[in-house]
């Protein structure tokens, strides 16, 4: 019998607006300087809520990888692992498959919208279509029972970056 898995979802910080001339491949679009600065503050608050042992997994897209790197520094983690299952064009089922393959008790997933909200909705209700406002740089915490399957999670919290910036360790 598998144990409980805690899953932390983190939406990438504020990135530049889409611009096909500057970034023909949207996966290359970076964070803005202000987005990185604000997330550094939010990451310090978020670090107070994250278990030290949690694995840090991220979308390979630039803005998510940069967000994960900021979070890694704030939490004292050595690194993050790129996972195609968290890319902005990945399907919700791929995230469940990723979690099923992991043995961690806690996992941090850095990704994109609408993917994170779709995963959150599927995790909470098999057939429900729940709506969430998942702000850039915001985070959520889910608890899964025996396995990370659709409809088996409990939402512990969903916090906007403003609240995370206000947390103190």
pLDDT at 152: 93
Domain count for the chain: 1
Q: Per-residue confidence of the chain (169 residues) as pLDDT tens digits?
A: 346 899 999 999 999 999 999 999 999 999 999 999 999 999 999 999 999 999 999 999 999 999 999 999 999 987 899 999 999 999 999 999 999 999 899 999 999 999 999 999 999 987 777 788 899 999 999 999 878 999 999 999 999 999 999 997 5
> Scanning the structure block, which residue is given the tokens 């941090």?
108
| CATH number of residue 37's parent domain | 3.40.50.1240
Residue ranges making up the domain that contains 31: 5-166
Query: How remote is the C-alpha of 34 from its chain's centroid?
Result: 19
């Amino acid at each position: 019998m598998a144990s409980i898995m805690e899953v932390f979802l983190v939406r990438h910080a504020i990135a530049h607006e889409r611009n096909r001339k500057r970034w023909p491949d949207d996966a290359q679009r970076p964070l803005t300087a202000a987005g990185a600065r604000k997330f550094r503050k939010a990451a310090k608050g978020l670090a107070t809520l994250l278990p030290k042992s949690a694995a840090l997994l991220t979308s390979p897209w630039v803005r998510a990888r940069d967000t994960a790197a900021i979070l890694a520094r704030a939490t004292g983690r050595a690194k993050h692992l790129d996972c195609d299952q968290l890319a902005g064009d990945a399907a919700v089922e791929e995230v469940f498959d990723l979690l099923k393959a992991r043995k961690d008790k806690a996992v941090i997933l850095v990704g994109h919208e609408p993917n994170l909200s779709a995963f959150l909705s599927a995790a909470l209700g098999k057939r429900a279509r729940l709506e969430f406002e998942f702000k850039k740089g915001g985070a959520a915490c889910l608890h899964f029972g025996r396995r990370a399957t659709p409809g088996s999670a409990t939402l512990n919290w969903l916090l906007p970056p403003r609240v995370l910036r206000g947390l103190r360790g």
